[in-house]
Chain A
Amino acid sequence: MQEPDLSVEIAGFKMKNPLMLASGILGISIASLRKVFEAGAGAVITKSIGYKARVGYDNPTLVEVHGGYLNAIGLSNPGVKEFYDELSNSKIDDLPLVVSLFGAKPSEFKEMVSILDELNIRAYELNLSCPHVKGFGIEVGQDPKAIREVVKSTKEETKKPLFVKLSPNVSDIVKIAKVAENSGADALTIMNTVRAMSIDIETFRPILANKIGGLSGPVIKPIAVRCVYEVSRSVRIPIIGCGGITSWQDAIEFFLAGARAVQIGTAIAYEGLNVFEKIKKGIRDYLIMKEKESVRDIVGLSHGF
């Protein structure tokens, strides 16, 4: 049997393998993103960048729970101008770099893209799904009208692929996904974190300074698999799966549910950066065992049942 093909393509963006670094994990500096790329990721996504600098919430911004982590970092970022400055002074031509953006209104997305677009960025991911920052994430991501305006106006400003990252914290994710597709999204990232909370029983206090945060890690995987499965039955654009992927078996499950690529975040806290090589090898061995030539050949196979 010949070596299986791990490469994938999403709206013209070619990746050597289907594993991407999820937004917000190690994505602050180009040097860290490069390190993750060198550790085996097929693409790396920056921390979500906004129009203006934000310091985010006070600590505690992260706390471990059974099966995952809860975070409320609060979209801290240096602002698009400082970020542009840093990117334009870095060597990024060989880096499969995706920039994640968040904003409060369509004009902010448009403005950010117009500043960044001349750089060798391969795609944008619009974070319309942060569960814990008022006015910036999920408020946009659960309002069909807002999604339509953001996606359309961003699309006018760039020819690069637009991924739209969706939240599970909505009553009907399929409906939202269709709105994004019809507004011009080139791919959907499913999903962001799940709104959640943790309380310390000694002090009676919520642990996160923001009280409510987003849950990530293995505990949310079945929710993400369900979302990918449901959405992939009703849209034509590619889906990038995300949520709790820690092993190669997890990644395979997402491909079978209908994802063309997957993102990895919290697993790095458990496994370190080796997680990329481990999952890659597991996918390769699985494809050989199942006599499949490429990752593409297993995308959506669970739909046949």
Chain B
Amino acid sequence: MVSNRPRITRVLDVIEESSTVRSLLFKDKLCSKAKPGQFIMVWIPGVDEIPMSISIMRDDQAGLTVRKVGEASTALFNMKVGSMIGIRGPYGNSFNPIIGKVMIVGAGTGLAPLMPLLEILTNKSASIDMIVGGKTMEEFIFMDKIKEILSKTESKIVVTTEDGSYGIKGLVTDAILPILKKKRFDMIYTCGPELMMKKVFEMAQEFNLPVQASLERVMKCGIGICGSCCIGKYNVCKDGPVFDSSKLKEVKDEFGLFRRDHSGKRVIF
């Protein structure tokens, strides 16, 4: 069976999340049954093929949430209902939902892979502390949905913005410290800018708490053979995208320090 080939599907719905972020819904059985944290390679015919987290799963449909940053993501952002895209995947490992007290730290489109996780955790965890960060209020996505999901369980939401336009003024990582001092967690899940995740990881280490972080690297094949997504001895597409504390320790010489561009050249964060 040939599976690593784009499956053409049409965009069923476009959801405006913010002025720069949209979610696209499409029909795809495999993706609708993906595990939280898995990603797909999305072919925008004539433009590019880029990795995107699966942010929505329902019935036989799935969705992705894209921020327009460059040519390909902007083309995807501009897709209309009925536009054709090609999907391969789901790829990679996934978050491991645990029973217990959890903290979730997300920022920007880093929330995309955290949303399916959040839905599973509400039925599983004892409590959820959700920390969401961003530069300004306009950047926030999914807030109503997060509040709605969290209303079903024992939970707390903390919001931070760098300019103070929404929630606490400051960085997400500033907001975490007082919480970690007061409450004992069984797991911290995080996805967002790598420097933020690095900081979260370091704080978790101080408090001896386990972490699961979802990383990004340049992806070409998506199936663990081209090596373009390497970090240490791992390939993010296959051994990740979710790295637990022990794997994060193994890649400490690269995590939060450098990534590789499309040529394989090291680029400092």
Binding site for B on A (CB under 8 A): 24-29, 31-32, 34-35, 47, 53-56, 58-66, 69, 71, 73, 76-79, 82, 86, 198, 200, 202-203, 205, 207, 209, 265-266, 268-269, 272
Contact = CB atoms under 8 A, between A and B. Distances in A.
Interface in B210-248: 219-228, 230, 232-233, 235
B3 A76 contact: no
Contact of A266 (B225, B232, B264): B225
A53 B225 CA distance: 21
A32 B263 contact: no
7 contacts: A29-B230, A31-B232, A56-B263, A62-B221, A207-B43, A269-B4, A272-B224
A203 to B, nearest CB: 5
B46 interface: yes
B113 to A, nearest CB: 20
Interface residues of B, number: 37
Majority secondary structure, A binding face: loop
Contacts of A64: 2-5
B263 A268 contact: no
Contact of A200 (B8, B221, B232, B265): B8
Contact of A73 (B3, B41, B226, B261): B226
A74 to B, nearest CB: 10
Interface in B144-185: none
B46 A205 contact: yes
Given A55-B261, A59-B48, A77-B263, A24 B232 contact: no
Contacts of A69: 4, 225
B86 interface: yes
A53 B2 CA distance: 33
B49 interface: yes
A82 B265 contact: yes
A25 B265 contact: no
A77 B84 CA distance: 32
A82 B266 contact: yes
Interface string B21-48: 0000000000000000000010101111
B233 A34 contact: yes
B97 interface: no
A272 B239 CA distance: 12
B262 interface: yes
A272 B4 CA distance: 15
Interface of B: 2-6, 8, 41, 43, 45-50, 84, 86, 219-228, 230, 232-233, 235, 260-266
Contacts of B230: 26, 28-29, 31-32
A29 B253 CA distance: 13
B5 A63 contact: yes
Given A59-B50, A76-B262, A77-B263, A207 B5 contact: yes
Please name the 7 residue pairs, one residue from A and one from B, whose CB atoms are nearest each other, closest first: A59-B49, A64-B4, A78-B265, A202-B8, A55-B262, A28-B227, A26-B227
Nearest to A75: B263
Given A55-B263, A64-B4, A25 B226 contact: yes
Contacts of B4: 62-64, 69, 269
Question: Which of A31, A60, A266 has the most chain B CB within a 10 Å cutoff?
Answer: A60
Contact of A25 (B43, B49, B227): B227
Nearest to A34: B233
Contacts of A55: 261-263
Given A64-B4, A86-B266, A200-B86, A76 B233 contact: no
Contacts of B228: 28, 76
Nearest to A208: B49
Nearest to B221: A62
Give the interface centre of A64, A198, A266 by most chain B CB atoms within 10 Å: A64
Given A28-B230, A31-B230, A203-B8, A47 B48 contact: no
B263 A207 contact: no
B263 A53 contact: yes
B254 to A, nearest CB: 9
B220 A47 contact: no
A59 B6 CA distance: 12
A56 B260 CA distance: 14
A210 to B, nearest CB: 12
